Amino acid sequence: MTNPEVRQKQPGLLHFPGLGHFLVVVVFTGIEIVGLIEWLALSNGGNPIMVLGQAYPILQLGAISSRVGTTGLAAIVLAVFLLVEHIITQADATGRFISGKQFVEILTFSSLESAIWVVWLKLIPMNGIIAITFFLAALFVEHHIADNVKKGLSFFKLSSTRIVFTGLLVLTISEVVGAVVWVGNQNLLAVLIVGSLLEHYIARNVGLIH
């Protein structure tokens, strides 16, 4: 099979994956949204018991909070939601459950993504331009790593495919725009949802492009 024929079979960035896969995208988008809502509520000084409900006493999160502080607890909560999201994403992309190696890789970049959100939020009151530049660049790198893991490539392998690079950039911008609007006005949660859904929709297609 020639290279042009291989490229022709690659899905486009907006390729519809089928209803089943689309519903999976909706599910893990919802998981991320819930994690972000709880993260921001905790980061803004929300009562952990009110935010986390019965999970707070059952999981003895008070002991963790006393050690790592509110910001640390918020980061851990977000990382857990992101970990679940990314495990589902990986399983959906490959059609099989993750290996031990993949779990470690997913845990690593899920923790990285959580840290990116935390640092971005801290940078906003200091300098908005630096904050959004950092957020965009750091999330692009994290999305690249996540795509590499999905494809079984080395962690920091740079893509030589233009459509993959373009897709990663577009989905990163989509997430950043949704996040910036939402953090600026939490009544605009719908913008975050749309941005995140588009991010994950494109990311699934990018993951199929080699």
**pLDDT score at 4:** 45
Can you tell me which residue has the tokens 């490959």?
A: 94
Mean pLDDT value across the chain: 90
pLDDT digits (tens, 9 = 90+) for 46-91: 888 777 777 777 667 777 777 888 899 999 999 999 999 999 999 9
Quick one: average pLDDT of 177-198?
A: 97
Distance CA 40, CA 110 (A): 17
Residues 210, 163 contacting (CB under 8 angstroms): no
Q: What is the pTM of this model?
A: 0.89
Distance CA 67, CA 137 (A): 30
- What residue type is assigned to position 116 of the chain? I
152: left (phi over 0), alpha (psi -120 to 50) or beta: left
Distance CA 143, CA 22 (A): 19
